[in-house]
Each structure stands twice: as C-alpha cells, then as structure tokens.
C-alpha cells in the first residue's frame, strides 16, 4: 500500500479540524503553511466558510497573497461577498502587479466604490500600474522593490532597505537611483553585508545592468530575464527613471501563457483574451475558439476535392492510384508541420531572424532531400509489395511504384519548403508566425500534393 504524501495528510488534518469546527486550531495551522497550499484548500470550501477563515487570519500579508492565488472567477465572487472596508485591507496586501490586474478587471463603478477605502499610497500605486497596457513591461511590473540613493553610505542603505521592506523574493537587489529617480545601477544584499558601514554605496555599484522599457512587450521582457538568468529586471520609463520591476516568477507566467497561445494558434485554435479553465469553460466557448479555422480550412479543402474530381477519368482508368492518395497527403502534412514547428521555435527563441531566410530555406531543402530520398525507397517497396497482385493494364508494376514514390518525394520536398517559408513570410508582414497553423499547412500541402501526384501520373503513365 502506498502511503499518503505529507500534503495529503496535511489536507486531511485541515478537513478534519474544519468538520469538527475547531477553527482556531485550523487557522493556526493555515498561517504556518505555504500560501499556495492554503489557497488550494480554501478554494474548495463554500464561499461563506472561505471568507470567515480568510478574514480570521492575523497575518494580513498572507491574506493578500492567498487571495492573489485564487482564480479570477472566485476572486470576483469574494469581492462581492466581502464588505469593501474589509476587502480593502486584503487588497492592500496583494502583490502590487496582481493587485493592478484585479483592479483593471473591475468595472468603473466597482473601482469607484473601492478607492475610498484605500490608503493614499495604495491608491496611487494601483492607478499608476493600471494605466499601462496589459501585455507590456508596465502592465506586468511590480512596485515590490527597494531603492537607495547613490550618495548614501552602506549603513544608510540598510536602514532604507528596512523602510522599503520588500518581500523576501525581492530583497536580493537594491536599485541605486539619483535625486531624479534615474537608475544608475544596483547593489546586492551580499555587497552591503560584506561592505563596511561607513563605506559609500557607490563603491559596490554594478553600473552595467540589463533593463526593460516600460512599454516593451512582455514576451521580450521574459526572454531577457531567461537569457541573463535574472531574479528580476528593472523597468525604466522614457526618462530612464525606475518605475518598477518584473520578477522571475512573473516572467515564467508570461512564457507559459505565450507558449499556450502559440500552441493554440499553431493548432488552429483562436486564443482567448484570458486563460480559461478547460472544465469550467462551456462547450460553446470551446466551439467558438475552434470553429473559425476548421470551417475556413474545410472550405479551402474544396480545392483538393476539385483536383481529384478533375482527374476522375484518370482514377477510373487506373484505380490503384486512389489507394495511395492518403499516403501522399499524410507524408506532405507531416513534413510541412515538422518544418514549421522547427522554424517557429527557432524564431521564438531568437536563434534565427528574417535576415537568415536564405540559410533557413537551404538548410530545410537539404533536410527535405534526405527525407525524400529515404521515403522514395520505402514508398517504392510499399507499392511493389502491396500492389503485386493488382491488375494494372498497360503499365509495369515497377513503373507505377516508381511514379508514386517520385510523387511522394517531390511532395515531401515541396511541403517542407512551404512549412519553413510560411512562418518567415508571416513574420515579414509583422504577423505572428504561430498563425502558420498546423491545420493550415496540412490543407495547403494537400492541395499541392494532389497537383504533384496527378501531374506525375499523367506524365509518367499516360
């Protein structure tokens, strides 16, 4: 028998205390547990129970962090259940970036009702952060950081750190600014600890630093954090003044969302404006996300049908050709999708740019030739074996096998070139390469495959 994990035992203990109405003991345990685990536990409870347990916690910082970990639907429900005065306290202790995100989702009327209960500092902070576009550095940045003046001594800097009291995650960097709040560099907590109390902060200054522009795209910001392995990146405005930071955690969230969005686009699914829970999303919403591409590509596939219909007489004369249509289409679709995936990934990781287009096409052409060569022999053997007992009038079995294998090889080469070129073409027109969706490529190469197949059959067999 597999023993329950520590998390499961802890959850059972919490559930038992709740059932026995031992709320004081339960709250004491919840206050010692990680906020993410507490949020998961509370989210499963009835809203009234949740509100009571959350409000009873003596750790105000934990209340804000726990609320921030709830999904948007639950947050909205709790906002209307809790009095505005009580909610304002929870709201004030939320991480600044999550706080701004929540505030932006409130209606103008709801925002107006909440603002009077907020302190001047929180009010200014949330209004400032909410002013930036959502998918920019300003839209995801936090004000949870500490600053010191460039002319301070170490002793003063440490006192200033206590005053700013950033969270544990953001305490490692202290951003050094001048009298105009323009960033001149940073120092680490280790630098301050190792320096003498009366030593100038400037003596330990790191003035060569990476930063993000306040209106820079969030994906670009996340890539910088990943590239330079940063705990956080400072965000500067047009005057080079420090206005916020984007943490490593926020960057990972951005990367996850962007990857999900790219995957959805690549599979022909229209991305939603916000991340949706699969089970909580209605079937009609899923339908709306998928129907556009599916219907559009279905209409486009009429071309393949027209090509086959046009060569109806050819298929009637040599019915064996119809047996290998799926093989041609499948191979082309797979080759095109593979090439597109490789190129889109390289573009997203900034391993290639549009300037490399010729090298990319030549490289994919070489790969395509090797794949075509391999598949040529396999297709030749497949036709020769499977159709050995088929009656073929006026044509040699090996001629037929050669024709089909050659058509397959050409299809693989053309499909690979289409798959690698389409993302580059879309990128050239300032579009998102991910919209070179797998279903779109499959439909396009189906059309080219039929043209190649029947053209080769006419040339070689008739």
pLDDT in tens, 251-288: 888 877 776 666 655 555 455 555 556 566 677 776 77
Q: Which strands form 146-149's sheet, in the order they lie side by side?
A: 146-149, 173-177, 183-188
- Whether the pTM exceeds 0.75: the reply is no
CATH architecture of 146-247: Roll (3.10)
In sequence order, the 6+-apart residues with CB closer than 8 A to the CB of 178 are 149, 150, 184
Largest Cα separation within the chain, whole Å, is 99
User: In this structure, what are the phi and psi dihedrals at residue 151, rounded to the nearest 5 degrees?
Assistant: -95, 5
For 279, which DSSP code?
Answer: T
Of 1.25.60.10, 1.20.1270.10, 3.40.50.2300, 3.40.50.720, the CATH number of 6-131 is: 1.25.60.10
Per residue in 396-416, pLDDT tens?
Answer: 888 889 999 999 999 999 999
> Which pLDDT does position 2 carry in this prediction?
42
Helix, strand or coil, per DSSP, at residue 243: strand
CATH class of this structure's domain 301-461: mainly alpha
Per residue in 24-33, pLDDT tens?
Answer: 899 888 888 8
Residues of the chain with pLDDT under 70: 1-5, 166-169, 259-281, 286, 289-294, 296-297, 300-302, 313-317, 390-395, 434-439
Domain ranges of the chain: 6-131, 146-247, 301-461
């Amino acid at each position: 028998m597999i023993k329950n994990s520590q998390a499961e035992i802890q959850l059972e203990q919490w559930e038992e205390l709740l059932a026995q109405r031992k709320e004081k003991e339960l709250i004491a345990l919840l206050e010692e547990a990680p906020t993410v685990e507490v949020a998961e536990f509370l989210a499963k409870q009835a809203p009234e129970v949740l509100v009571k347990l959350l409000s009873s916690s003596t750790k105000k910082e934990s209340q804000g962090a726990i609320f921030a970990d709830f999904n948007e639907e639950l947050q909205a429900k709790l906002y209307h259940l809790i009095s505005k005065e009580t909610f304002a306290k929870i709201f004030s202790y939320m991480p600044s970036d999550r706080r701004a995100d929540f505030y932006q989702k409130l209606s103008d009327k709801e925002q107006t009702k909440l603002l009077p209960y907020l302190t001047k500092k929180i009010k200014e902070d949330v209004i400032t952060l909410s002013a930036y576009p959502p998918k920019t550095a300003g839209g995801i940045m936090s004000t949870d950081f500490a600053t010191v003046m460039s002319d301070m001594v170490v002793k003063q800097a440490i006192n200033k750190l206590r005053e700013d009291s950033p969270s544990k995650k953001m305490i490692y960097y202290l951003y050094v600014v001048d009298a105009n709040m323009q960033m001149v560099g940073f120092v680490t907590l280790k630098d301050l600890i190792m320096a003498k109390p009366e030593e100038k902060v400037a003596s330990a200054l790191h003035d060569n630093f990476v930063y993000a522009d306040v209106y820079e795209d969030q994906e670009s910001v996340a890539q910088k954090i990943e590239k330079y392995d940063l705990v956080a990146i400072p965000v500067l405005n047009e005057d080079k003044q420090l206005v916020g930071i984007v943490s490593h955690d926020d960057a990972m969230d951005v990367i996850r969302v962007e990857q999900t969005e790219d995957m959805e686009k690549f599979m022909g699914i229209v991305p939603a404006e916000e991340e949706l829970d699969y089970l909580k999303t209605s079937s009609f919403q899923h339908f709306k996300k998928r129907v556009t591409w599916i219907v559009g590509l279905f209409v486009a596939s009429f071309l393949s049908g027209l090509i086959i219909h046009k060569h109806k007489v050819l298929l009637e004369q040599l019915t064996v050709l119809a047996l290998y249509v799926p093989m041609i289409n499948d191979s082309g679709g797979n080759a095109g999708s593979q090439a597109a995936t490789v190129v889109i990934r390289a573009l997203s990781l900034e391993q290639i740019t549009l300037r490399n287009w010729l090298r990319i096409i030549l490289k994919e052409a070489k790969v395509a030739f090797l794949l075509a060569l391999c598949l040529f022999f396999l297709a030749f053997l497949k036709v020769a074996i499977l159709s050995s007992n088929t009656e073929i009038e006026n044509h040699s079995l090996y001629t037929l096998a050669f024709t089909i294998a050659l058509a397959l090889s050409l299809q693989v080469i053309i499909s690979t070139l289409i798959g690698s070129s389409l993302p580059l073409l879309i990128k050239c027109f300032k579009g998102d390469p991910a919209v070179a969706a797998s279903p779109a490529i499959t439909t396009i190469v189906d059309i080219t495959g039929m043209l190649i197949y029947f053209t080769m059959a006419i040339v070689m067999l008739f």
